Structure formats: C-alpha cells, structure tokens
C-alpha cells in the first residue's frame, strides 16, 4: 500500500500528458489456458481490481474519444487511460459487464471471421489440436520444407504450440490453411469447441456502451499475408462487423506482434483507405499527441495490479520521454 501511495504522489506531482492504451486479451482463470496462452490471461478477480483502481485514480476515456482529441489537437486529461481487448473471447462479455458496473467503457477488437458460425480461431484451435495429436512427433510440410515437431513430453507440447503458431504467422493465408488441414488430420479431426463470442453477445456489449473494433477476419500476421489478402482481411472485417451491428466500425487492431513485425506503412495505408479512424499496435509504449493514429502504441497488461501501476507510473518515464 505504501508503494501505491508513492505512485499516487508521482501521478499528482508529475501527471502524465500521454495516454496509456491498455491491451488485454482473455479475462479468465486457468480454465482459459486451454484456449489462450497464460501470458495473455488476466483472472476475473484481478481484472475487477484493475477496473476499480483505474476508475478511481485515472481519467479513463474510450479509445474513440482519445483518437478524436488527438485528431482535433485538443488536450487529453492528465493520467489518461483507455482499455482495449484483442481477439474476441467469450469471457470478454463478463469483462464488459464489470466495466459497465464501474461506469467505464473499452474497445473490443473482434476477429470477425471467427465468431459463431465462422472459421475456428486458429490460435485457440492450434492449442486444442496439439493436445489431441498422438506422440511422439508431428510432421508438417509447407511448399518449401518438412518440419518435424517433437511431442514426446509435456514440455514438447508447450514448445510445439509456439512452433506451430510461428509457422502459421510466417506464411501466406493459403499455406496457413494447408498447415491447419494437416494439423487437423494429425489430430484425428478431434472436435474443437469455440471460445469466441457469439454475435448476440457482441451486440449486448455494444448496448453496454462498449466500442466494437475490428481485428481482421482470420488473424493472419498481415505483413506475411500479401497486400491483396490483407486488404480483404482489413476491409472485410469492417464490413462484417458493420453488417452485424448496424453501426460504423472505426477502430482497428493489427493481429499478432510482440517482437515480430505486424504492421507496415503499406498496411497503415490500407487501414486508412478502408475508412478506419485509427489503429492500435502491439508496440509497447504510451501513445502521445504526435503518435501516428494508424500505429498507436499500447501496454500489454498482466495479472498483478501492482505490475500495471508500475508500468503506468514508472515505465512511462522510460517509454515516453517528456512524459
Ligand atoms: Zn490478436
């Protein structure tokens, strides 16, 4: 608590003039590790703590409001935070209700081709299928190489999720789909349940005052997908969401990222041409008045509230010089 008091003093005497756009994914306990990597899961109890703390200590704005102010060159309130969620997991509905109870709103980026009735969301499908593939190894082939992936031990299976995910991101969409078919066959076409939101749930979130944004149709790593397929993913997800919701969709989030290149100037141009007002990246940092609206920085959020406040009050001096 002493440390939290120190953070409050930092906020008061050195208020941030930038905006921390928080990047959440799944809001779930260990049961969610079956569909999402533990590193992108925050438990519902921790999330509730985050929301309470943010609501009472920060100026939480919706992302469209932040984007509009940056566009109009109007100042942001001190210590400004906006919340975003990538992918569109079903557990996000409860998170939206928590936010609504505390009078907050967030932007939920939906992988529009992978909701109910759509294609399986591949990052979750890969995790499920790799549990079903019999050992001791999995063999996958691309037009360029044969890949042997060991599956003998539990640690091998965890490493295999990373290896196969990397392969899916590294190739154009038609090659990814052939790899997916090979993986399904190796898993004996084991049934995979969808952890994603249904359209009625997305509409319910919109009614709670949440912003619905787009996160492509099928979650490719766009720089490896080619410009034609990227254009279809970027513009197609906007259309699909607008048809389902009946309202304009103006926020976009580039899938994947982390250490990898997940957006380029050509992709930023495609996002702008499709009619989006802004796009967020996975580049770690604070968005500033001079940030490119089609490449806004975000902060990845983890479980502990203390880590979140440390990022907001200590790392900001490193990540965003000039506060
Ligand atoms: Zn994503």
Per residue in 35-60, pLDDT (tens digit) is 999 999 999 999 999 999 999 999 99
Predicted TM-score of the model (pTM): 0.96
Distance 186 CA to ligand 1 centre (A): 25
Q: In the prediction, which pLDDT does 246 show? A: 97
Spacing, Cα 41 to ligand 1 middle (Å): 13
Rounded to 10°, the helix 227-245/199-207 angle is: 70
DSSP H stretches of helix in the chain? 2-13, 44-57, 63-72, 92-101, 122-132, 154-170, 173-186, 199-207, 227-245, 265-273, 305-310, 316-319
- Please tell me the distance between residue 49's alpha carbon and the centre of ligand 1 in angstroms: 24
Task: Express each pLDDT in 157-198 by its tens digit.
Answer: 999 999 999 999 999 999 999 999 999 999 999 999 999 999
Give yes or no for a contact between 107 and 62, defined as CB atoms under 8 angstroms apart.
Answer: yes
Angstrom distance (rounded) from CA 210 to CA 88: 13
The kind and range of the H/E element at 26 are: strand 26-27
Residue 318 has pLDDT above 90, yes or no: no
Selection from 23, 4, 12, 1 nearest residue 79 by Cα: 12
Ligand 1 centre and the CA of 277: distance in Å?
Answer: 19
Pairing state of beta strands 41-42 and 26-27? parallel
Quote the DSSP letter at residue 293: T
As a dihedral over the C-alpha atoms of residue 88, residue 270, residue 284, residue 159, rounded to 10 degrees, the angle is: 60
* Joined tokens for residue 140: 């996958």
Interval between CA 106 and ligand 1 midpoint (Å): 16
Query: Do 166 and 259 form a contact (C-beta atoms < 8 A)?
Result: no
Q: How far is the CA of 4 from the centre of ligand 1 (A)?
A: 31
Centre of ligand 1 from the C-alpha of residue 74, in Å: 30
Distance 306 CA to ligand 1 centre (A): 25
Tell how far the Cα of 219 is from the centroid of ligand 1, in angstroms. Answer: 6
CA angle 18, 24, 30 (to 5 degrees): 150
């Amino acid at each position: 608590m002493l440390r939290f008091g120190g953070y409050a003093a930092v906020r008061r005497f050195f208020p941030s003039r930038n905006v921390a756009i928080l990047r959440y994914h799944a809001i779930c306990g260990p049961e969610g590790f079956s569909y999402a990597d533990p590193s992108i899961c925050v438990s519902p109890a921790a999330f509730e703590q985050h929301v309470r703390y943010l609501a009472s200590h920060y100026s939480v704005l919706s992302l469209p409001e932040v984007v509009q102010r940056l566009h109009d060159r109007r100042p942001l309130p001190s210590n400004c935070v906006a919340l975003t969620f990538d992918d569109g997991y079903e557990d996000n509905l409860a998170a939206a209700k928590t936010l609504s109870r505390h009078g907050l709103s967030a932007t939920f980026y939906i992988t529009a081709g992978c909701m109910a009735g759509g294609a399986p969301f591949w990052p979750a499908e890969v995790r499920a299928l790799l549990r079903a593939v019999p050992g001791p190894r999995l063999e996958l082939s691309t037009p360029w190489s044969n890949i042997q992936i060991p599956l003998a031990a539990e640690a091998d299976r965890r490493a295999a999720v990373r290896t196969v995910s990397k392969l899916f991101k590294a190739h154009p969409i038609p090659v990814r789909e052939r790899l997916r078919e090979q993986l399904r066959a190796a898993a004996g076409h084991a049934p995979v349940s969808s952890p994603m939101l249904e359209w009625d749930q997305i509409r319910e979130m919109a009614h709670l005052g949440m912003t619905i944004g787009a996160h492509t149709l099928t979650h490719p790593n766009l720089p490896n997908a080619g410009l034609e397929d990227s254009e279809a993913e970027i513009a197609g997800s906007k259309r699909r969401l607008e048809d389902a919701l009946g309202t304009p969709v103006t926020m976009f989030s580039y899938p994947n990222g982390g250490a990898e290149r997940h957006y380029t100037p050509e992709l930023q141009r495609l996002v702008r041409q499709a009619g989006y007002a802004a796009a967020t990246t996975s580049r770690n940092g604070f968005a500033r008045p001079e940030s490119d609206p089609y490449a806004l920085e975000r902060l990845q959020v983890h479980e502990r509230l203390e880590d979140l406040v440390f990022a907001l009050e200590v790392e900001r001096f490193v990540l965003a010089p000039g506060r």
